[in-house]
Structure 1
Amino acid sequence: MQAALTDYRIRCSDRPVGIEHLDERLRKAWRIRHSSPDHRSQLGALLPGLIRDAQTAARTAEDRRAASRTLAGVYQLADFYVAYQPAPELVWMVADRAVNEGYEADDPYVIACSAWAMVQALRDSGRWEEAIALARNAIEQLTPYLDRAETPDDWHGIVGALGFEIAYVQGRRGRSSDAWRVLEQADLVAQKLGPTYRHVQTSFSQPVMAAHATTLGVELRQPGEALRAARSIDADHIVSVPRRGRHLIEVARAYMQRDEDTAALTMLVKSEQTAPETIRYNGFARDMLRDLLKKPPTGMRDDVRELSRRVGIRG
């Protein structure tokens, strides 16, 4: 994967790459990402070739804007893979390239989708003001299109997803009222889009808005709010398997904040059963398991050790 990202300047291929074929490969890769418990392993096999071919198309295709649009989409998908690698520079590289290709495509929707990944990189590095400013700017660029009947639902979906990112940043900052206010605005977007809508890249949808509320409650150390949100949906309604696994980890975090360790362990077990490659790379889950290894729930020491072993933690 890293080689595919870093050798693009010196590689040259005379082999023509069809944009439509690339787009179909990208759609297939997104389906794998959302439906497979071993999504990381499968993406790790698919992405290097997809990146190289999309880069070639962006340099050689007659329709450079369409090729840039596709390459941006490939980088948006790659962002999910590099996010948990022990090489944070790849996160910045992929996010930056996605934004640049969005501008090359001159497509405000693609730019907004690419900005979504960059907002997360800024947030996780503590650059909160920049993260909020970028998310707001991306939303502003789309706003003139939102009242048009022909505007696709996905343009509304990415606006809602960016809205949650702003709420999440405010949650990280401890600004409770601002966080819940922006979350409510994003939830209105989800309600308007309807119960069957789902944004493929961000998973933005009505069920995921409840999962977002769970996360926000945890970040604000309001576990009661987090668990109320979690109980408002059936986790199985979260279509994306890795996103469902991550939600169960967030529920476990809420239980840990209430010192309900048995319930937290139950959620971690369910998360591992749902998407083992998600919990294996999730820092919050690994921290919780280390804590549970030190002080396991009564009668569950072996359960904690076994789950930790499967996740890759020695205790």
Structure 2
Amino acid sequence: MSQQVFADRIGKSKSWVDKIERGVRRLDKFSVLHDIADVLQVDVQLLLGRDPERSPDTANCVDQVEVEDIRQALERYERLGTLFEAAPIEPIPLTDLEKSVSHAWMTFESANYAALARSLINLLKLGPAVEEESEERDRPKAANLLSQIYQIASSVLRKLGEPQLAWLAADRAISAAQRGDDPLLIGTATTRVANALRSLGRSRAALDLNIQVAQKILSQGGPAPTDAVYSVHGALLLQGSMAAAHCGDLPTARELLRSADQIADVVGDGKNHYWTSFGPTNVALHRAAAAVELGEGRMAINTHVSIDPESFQRLVPERRAHHYLDVARGYNQVGNLPEAGRLLVEASRIAPLEIRCRPIAHQVISDVLRRSRGAAPALLVSMAEELRLAA
């Protein structure tokens, strides 16, 4: 990168860059250091002569350095432009952003959160710039892509135990989807907001939000809703059932699951409209998860054993590993620790980072090991040692 190109990207003169490089002028503003780090795509700690603080027990997962980078990307406000000394973000073509977002969804569905976190840091900066620089006719599409970026970020952050950041990203996702004028995208963004609220302990608010938007989505679908409309409506009902279960509201959870079941029979399995994976099998997964939240481990296990294996195998890795984690919690609740351990190991085989990256998984592993008294699977013991978990 030439001095001139570098100077242009950080909003400085070539002469300023030359003086900094020769040591004639001091680089003493932290905000400028951050801008330089963005342009050079390096950690700002390296520019300060320090190694980034990385946790030794992340086992190739997302660490606090990357979470902090995501936080900073979410906190940027490119639309305020010259009010800040922020380095301008050079947008990419809309088609390139679309490909990158599609790849990010696939990475999420594969539960490769480490790779996804790194790409999200860049996408969260590029997305607003692309929308801002797009021609008028392309603005809605750019806004919808930005909404998807925020939704992916929200889902990952919630899994990593960062509910406040997850809520911020989800809220941004709804705003972007509104600019894109896609009601179904607004619906999926709503599930991210509700999930973040549930993680923050506001389950009743999450329940009300899911139900309200689910009804609106279906009413806007017309007399013959499409499978996509049914899928988003059904996803909202499923997340509502989880919020109800978290509240201890068994009747509401059951009613929402029953309604989702009826819609899922219309949609069928094997579809993934708006990245919902909605269908009869995914409804069964949520029925098991809701049972675990209610403390009904036996009910979760009975649901699990009734799921058609072939339909289950067709789900994306993230869904399957997540389900095994839920059912492992169910087995833990009923005291079947060997089976709980076996499912944790199986979940790690399908999607390693779904287990290694999630605080809830770490809690379950520790609890199973603590109660097993030497009877836990050797692979689970080995995994706990790699993660430096206390049993």
User: Which amino acid letter does the alignment assign opposite residue 3 of structure 1?
Assistant: Q
Question: Which residue of structure 2 lines up, in the alignment, with residue 30 of structure 1?
Answer: 105
Q: Distance in 2 between matches of 1:25 and 1:211?
A: 29
1:297 offset after TM fit, Å?
4.9
**Map 1:186-197 → 2, pairs under 5 A:** 186-197=260-271
User: Which amino acid letter does the alignment assign opposite residue 245 of structure 1?
Assistant: A
Q: Distance in 1 between matches of 2:163 and 2:272?
A: 29
Question: Which residue of structure 1 lines up, in the alignment, with residue 53 of structure 2?
Answer: none
What is the TM-score of this pair, normalised by structure 1?
Answer: 0.90
User: Which amino acid letter does the alignment assign opposite residue 98 of structure 2?
Assistant: D
Question: Which residue of structure 1 lines up, in the alignment, with residue 154 of structure 2?
Answer: 79
Q: Distance in 1 between matches of 2:87 and 2:103?
A: 25
User: Which amino acid letter does the alignment assign opposite residue 182 of structure 2?
Assistant: D
1:307 offset after TM fit, Å?
2.6
1:119 offset after TM fit, Å?
0.6
Which of 1 and 2 has greater Rg? 2
Higher alpha-carbon deviation: 300-309 or 96-105 = 300-309
Change beyond 3 A, Cα 1:152–1:60: farther
Question: Which residue of structure 1 lines up, in the alignment, with residue 227 of structure 2?
Answer: 153
What SS does structure 2 have at the residue aligned with 1:83? helix
Q: Distance in 2 between matches of 1:90 and 1:207?
A: 30
1:73 offset after TM fit, Å?
1.0
Question: Which residue of structure 2 lines up, in the alignment, with residue 210 of structure 1?
Answer: 284
Kept in 2: contact 1:242–1:275 (CA 8 A) = yes
Q: Distance in 1 between matches of 2:352 and 2:191?
A: 25
Runs of 5+ unmatched residues, structure 1: none
Question: Which residue of structure 1 lines up, in the alignment, with residue 125 of structure 2?
Answer: 52
Question: Which residue of structure 2 lines up, in the alignment, with residue 138 of structure 1?
Answer: 213
Q: Distance in 1 between matches of 2:290 and 2:243?
A: 9
Q: Distance in 2 between matches of 1:294 and 1:129?
A: 33
Say whether 1:308 aligns with 2:384: yes
Higher alpha-carbon deviation: 234-243 or 216-225 = 234-243
Question: Which residue of structure 2 lines up, in the alignment, with residue 90 of structure 1?
Answer: 165
Question: Which residue of structure 1 lines up, in the alignment, with residue 365 of structure 2?
Answer: 289
Q: CA RMSD in A?
A: 2.2
What SS does structure 1 have at the residue aligned with 2:278? coil
Q: Distance in 2 between matches of 1:17 and 1:304?
A: 44
**Map 1:1-315 → 2, pairs under 5 A:** 1-9=70-78, 10=84, 11=86, 13=88, 15-35=90-110, 39-62=112-135, 63-85=138-160, 87-149=162-224, 152-233=226-307, 234=309, 236-297=312-373, 299-300=375-376, 302-315=378-391
Q: Distance in 1 between matches of 2:207 and 2:198?
A: 8
What SS does structure 1 have at the residue aligned with 2:237? helix
What SS does structure 1 have at the residue aligned with 2:318? helix
What is the TM-score of this pair, normalised by structure 2?
Answer: 0.74
Identity of aligned residues (%): 25
Change beyond 3 A, Cα 1:148–1:53: farther
The number of residues matched between the two structures is 312
